[in-house]
Chains A and B, each alone.
Chain A
């Protein structure tokens, strides 16, 4: 069975410093992986997705993620945090047999002024 683990439930960074949100996955197939962001009282918005093309994936708002098969990781990064990045971030793996999304438990990012 496929699964995804977000290693940090909360991350705090100062504005202008790099962001690293960690995600590890488990999959017996070549997975599709996604990062979504949820701002307070809003729906989920797709940041980026990996679908077996380039291992370095660029998304919206300056975010990017690197698929590392050897480490079974798909960490989300951004060079410089902005106050508007404060939100909850979900790592998702798409299950091959059933096409269901398997969600991580989320990482809440706090950006300090």
Chain B
């Protein structure tokens, strides 16, 4: 299995621009998670989906952030407009389901720099 795939791996953009991060979960996994990692705040859950439906988006910082999962094999996280404080590593993870015993498998991350 290829694991969780994220693209791009690195993104450098200027303040005000739209940024789209992409994720392909492991085939057969029904849950997908978006995290943000910064030095100051550590790992934060932004949103998670179960069977393509957003279940909890309470971690999404503000309206500039949006996430979609149009099908079981693809999700996007969009930031519009981007700001320097959005600079972070964004991880996507997937799991079989939402049991507390289910393991989340993480992608390699997208390092976002907003100038």
Binding site for B on A (CB under 8 A): 31-32, 34, 36, 41-46, 49, 51, 90, 94-96, 98-101, 103, 105-106
Question: Which of B14-22, B66-74, B79-87, B95-103 lies at the binding interface?
Answer: B95-103
For chain B, the count of residues having a C-beta within 8 Å of the partner chain is 23
Task: Assess the A99–B103 pair: CB atoms within 8 A.
Answer: no
Task: Assess the A44–B101 pair: CB atoms within 8 A.
Answer: no
Question: Most B CB atoms within 10 A — which of A46, A90, A98, A100?
Answer: A100
| Complex CA–CA separation, A32 to B42 (angstroms) | 21
Smallest CB-CB separation from A44: which chain B residue? B106
12 additional A-B pairs beyond A42-B108, A43-B4, beta carbons within 8 Å, are A34-B103, A41-B111, A43-B107, A43-B108, A43-B109, A46-B105, A90-B43, A94-B101, A95-B100, A100-B45, A101-B33, A103-B42
